[in-house]
Amino acid sequence: MKIALALAALLAVLLLGAVWLVTQPFAGAGHHWQGTAADAKRLEDLVRALVALGPREGAAGQAKVAVWLRTQLIALGHVPLVQYYARGRDDYRNLLVALGPQTPQRIVISAHYDARGPYPGADDDASGVAALLELARMLRGVPLPLHTELAFYSNEESGMEGSEFHARGIPAGEVRAMISLEMLGCFHEPQKFPLPMLQLVYPSYGDYIVVVGRFEDWPLVRSLKRALDGAGARVRSIDAPESTPGIGDSDHSSFWRAGARAAMLTDTAWYRNPRYHTAADTPDTLDYAQMAKVVDGVAAWASQVPR
């Protein structure tokens, strides 16, 4: 009986340890963003303007968006680097905005501007693009601790080609951390899970944003989670094996393959949003007030990354 009790106690401790490692339940609140706050109305206007450009799947549609993005960034006082690459007979481009000092290492914050098929793609991923444009406005002139790149990627939907091209071109060891902003606007739906056991440790109502990483990304996930909490965002996190369904399905995985620490910030896509990859993924379905808190949290994180 004593042996059985001891084994049961050990199993309970191991299970609690595993839950703690995966969910980081007590990350705490981090630095509060002191700069210009994200504007919910501006986020909405940006999402609507991006969707209004039409389909964003092929080369012609993405080229149209790239021109629009460059115009938006120039209006904010940035001259983006346009990074071209070829796929078949077509040329595609990433747009990169450099901020902060020229330190030996950098952080990368990204969103993808393409969308699946003819669909509007408001959450996927006009929400991330709008957030990245807001960060370009909020972080301009801010004394950041590390060289920071805001990366607008093409062709995420067709296999993360834009982010892979960018990641391959950065020397090994130069990326301190990378964050992919992948669907940030769906907050009021039932929450599904890739594994049944996760239903025991995460809320079943999707009113929170999720920071996603592998076990080795634990410090990055923790620091970003703290910054989001400090901004008033409802936030959860997961550190899990890359084999977990959906955990690597965005541009951060290109940086994993390049050997960098990276995480995804997401409303969990098809695990929550019933309009994912449909004509119903429209701007009026997003919660821009919650998105603004998320953007404030990312700005706080970028301003406090240790050298």
Cβ–Cβ < 8 Å for 59, 122: no
Cβ–Cβ < 8 Å for 287, 187: yes
Helices 218-230 + 288-304 axis angle, to 10: 120
Q: 30-50 pLDDT, tens per residue?
A: 878 999 999 999 999 999 999
Q: 286-300 pLDDT, tens per residue?
A: 999 999 999 999 999
Q: 187-238 pLDDT, tens per residue?
A: 999 999 999 999 999 999 999 999 999 999 999 999 999 999 999 999 999 9
Token readout for 2 is 């004593």
Query: For residues 77 and 282, what is the distance between their CA atoms, to the nearest angstrom?
Result: 29
Side-by-side strand order, sheet with 175-182 = 81-87, 90-99, 147-153, 106-112, 175-182, 262-266, 209-213, 235-239
Q: Which fold has domain 25-304?
A: Aminopeptidase (3.40.630)
The share of the chain scoring above pLDDT 90, in percent, equals 88
Q: 45-102 pLDDT, tens per residue?
A: 999 999 999 999 999 999 999 999 999 999 999 999 999 999 999 999 999 999 999 9
Compute the CA torsion angle 173, 177, 180, 181 (nearest 10 deg): -150
pLDDT for res 10: 45
Cβ–Cβ < 8 Å for 175, 110: no
Q: What is the pTM of this model?
A: 0.94
Kindly report the CA angle at 193 between 233 and 267, in degrees rounded to 5? 30
First to last CA, the chain: 53
Token readout for 80 is 């983006």
Kindly report the CA angle at 98 between 94 and 102, in degrees rounded to 5? 135
Domains in the chain: boundaries:
25-304
Q: How many CA atoms lie within 13 A of 81 on its CB side?
A: 9
Alpha helices, DSSP H, located in the chain: 2-23, 40-52, 59-75, 127-139, 161-168, 218-230, 252-257, 288-304
